[in-house]
Amino acid sequence: MRIDILTIFPDFFGVLDISLLGKARERGIIELGVHDLRDYTHDRHRTVDDTPYGGGAGMVMRPEPWGEALDATLTPETVVIVPSPAGVPFTQAAARELAQEKHLVFTCGRYEGIDQRVIDYAADTVRVREISLGDYVLNGGEVATMAMIEAIGRLVPGVVGNPESLTEESHENGLLEYPSYTKPSTWRERSVPPVLLSGNHKAIADWRYEQQLERTRRVRPDLLPDGE
């Protein structure tokens, strides 16, 4: 998979050199390009924003640098991801779908957003997804892009060594994860639930499923079908 990021804060993405994604890049599974939007400006001040037509607070990103940046980056196979609090909620299902794509381009907007014509222009030629991380506001798309790349990147085939570790997590079966324990079996007078030491695989699987249900009912009842 190839991922390109368009941003006015390219330094933000230095952390993608390390950890799991860094290894995937070294192994050639994921290719990453980070591009400074200001490289596509032509004025002395490298201007990327201006006041909104119709008035109102804040600044809007001008379309010209975005147009040139997209022209230099898009291919017919690209999916453009526009991080925005006004987008469709990001989910594990969305991450799974996007992990199958060949090329993702993240457009990190700042200020009050990007001139809408940029998004409409891109949507004329490629698939565009406006995606939100949740019901709160970030200053720009950079942190949201980082979160999405981490969620998507670890689902790209070959990135995580043991693919089974991906199927037992929160959200993969529609429920929150069961609690985990490791050695020692007693720590500060707290013991590990005895069933986990029993060697009875069926009993352990049943207990873990019950824990998933109990936790989901308690903290995320919205994830359960009605009546559970």
Q: Is 141 annotated as a binding residue?
A: no
β pairing state of 78-89 and 127-132? parallel
- Smallest separation, CB 112 to ligand 6GU (Å): 10
Q: Which is nearer to ligand 6GU, 134 or 163 (CB)?
A: 134
Our finding on whether 83 is near ligand 6GU (CB under 6 A) is yes
The response to whether 209 counts as a known ligand-binding position is: no
How many residues form the binding site for ligand 6GU (CB under 6 A)?
Answer: 13
Residue with Cβ nearer ligand 6GU (18 or 137) = 137
80: contact with ligand 6GU by CB under 6 A: no
144 near ligand 6GU (CB under 6 A): yes
Residue-wise DSSP of 52-111: PTT--SS-EE-HHHHHHHHHHH--TTEEEEEEEEEEEEP-HHHHHHHTT-SEEEEE---T
Q: How far is the CB of 147 from ligand 6GU (least distance, A)?
A: 8
Q: Which is nearer to ligand 6GU, 37 or 175 (CB)?
A: 37
Residue 124 region, left (φ>0) first, then alpha (ψ -120 to 50), else beta? alpha
Report the run of H or E that residue 49 belongs to, with start and end: strand 49-50
Q: How far is the CB of 157 from ligand 6GU (least distance, A)?
A: 25
* Listed residue (133, 103, 111) closest to 1, CA to CA: 103
**HSE (CB half, 13 Å, CA atoms) of 76?**
0
Is there a binding annotation on residue 224?
no
C-alpha distances in angstroms, 13 versus 16, 18, 76, 143, 183?
6, 10, 25, 9, 36
134 known ligand binder:
yes
Is residue 137 within the footprint of ligand 6GU (CB under 6 A)? yes
Q: Minimum Å distance from CB 58 to ligand 6GU?
A: 12
CA-based nearest residue to 128, from 105, 146, 147, 111: 105
Sole window of 7-15, 38-46, 128-136, 158-166 interacting with ligand 6GU (rule: CB under 6 A): 128-136
Site residues for ligand 6GU per CB under 6 A: 83-85, 131-134, 136-138, 140-141, 144
Q: Binding site membership for S-adenosyl-L-methionine: which residues? A: 109, 133-138
